[in-house]
Amino acid sequence: GAGVSQTPSNKVTEKGKYVELRCDPISGHTALYWYRQSLGQGPEFLIYFQGTGAADDSGLPNDRFFAVRPEGSVSTLKIQRTERGDSAVYLCASSLGGTGDGYTFGSGTRLTVV
Amino acid sequence: GENVEQHPSTLSVQEGDSAVIKCTYSDSASNYFPWYKQELGKRPQLIIDIRSNVGEKKDQRIAVTLNKTAKHFSLHITETQPEDSAVYFCAASRDYKLSFGAGTTVTVRA
């Protein structure tokens, strides 16, 4: 596609529920990243995929968070047993190679846990 | 890991004046320093970047300077316009991961 697409744009869920956030990267971009942006803060790294594999998941805050990219394109970030502290904007980005440059960010999914 | 600090957190300037935002980083191995502009509810967009082998880079009204020895870099916006109002983030990277500062909210007063 022309840009990085994230769905849904907004998600409100009740505490304890399970949510899935989807990212559709730019076609041909092998690197995909998830970041989390809390209100008034800069984005924080969650996970990096190179192709289908998670090359670095060191930013995932705990085992309630999991992400997949089964075919090396679309990625899904999954959050189990959501907590109010998970409320944030979840940003996805993709790039051609696995370096810090060439990132294109999506518009994000604003997750609100009530 | 990398720690990036950004100052000031808010900046109000008169239209036509200059704006300067400063960042420091902790990891001497970082070699790539992008700046992003984020308007309310929108995605971060790259406005300029600099690599560690360059001390300064300019693109029209925007310039970035890097001091590797002191581990700090700065964004300079000249002749500010109302459309420059946004949140600006600096970041540092040594590989694939970007470490961001907390952001500077810039308001350009007409």
pLDDT the model gives residue A93: 97
Closest approach of B59 to chain A, Cα-based (Å) = 17
Among candidates A40, A41, A100 on the partner chain, residue whose Cβ is nearest the Cβ of B96 = A100
- Structure-model confidence comparison of residues A81 and A55, the more confident one: A81
Residue B15 phi/psi, 5° resolution?
A: -50, 135
Answer yes or no: do B43 and A41 touch at CB < 8 A.
no
pLDDT tens by residue, A58-91: 999 999 999 999 999 999 999 999 999 999 999 9
Q: What is the 3-state secondary structure (H, E, C) of A21-39?
A: EEEECCCCCCEEEEEEECC
User: What is d(CA A59, CA A46) in angstroms, rounded to the nearest whole number?
Assistant: 4
User: What is d(CA A64, CA A21) in angstroms, rounded to the nearest whole number?
Assistant: 14
Closest approach of B17 to chain A, Cα-based (Å) = 25
User: What is d(CA A36, CA B100) in angstroms, rounded to the nearest whole number?
Assistant: 11
Q: Which residues contact B106 (CB under 8 A, 6 or more apart)?
A: B10, B11, B12, B13, B19, B21, B77, B80, B84, B85, B86, B87, B88
For chain A, the helix, strand and coil percentages under 3-state DSSP, each to the nearest 5: 5, 50, 50
Q: pLDDT category, B106, cuts 50, 70, 90?
A: very high
Contacts of B96 in chain A (CB under 8 A): 31, 33, 48, 55-56, 98-100
Answer yes or no: do A45 and B98 touch at CB < 8 A.
yes
pLDDT the model gives residue A97: 83
What percent of chain B lies above the pLDDT cut of 90?
A: 95
Closest approach of B44 to chain A, Cα-based (Å) = 6
- Structure-model confidence comparison of residues B85 and B53, the more confident one: B85
pLDDT the model gives residue A1: 53
Region A97-108: what's the mean pLDDT? 90
Q: Check pLDDT > 90 for residue A102.
A: no
Contacts of A4 in chain B (CB under 8 A): 43
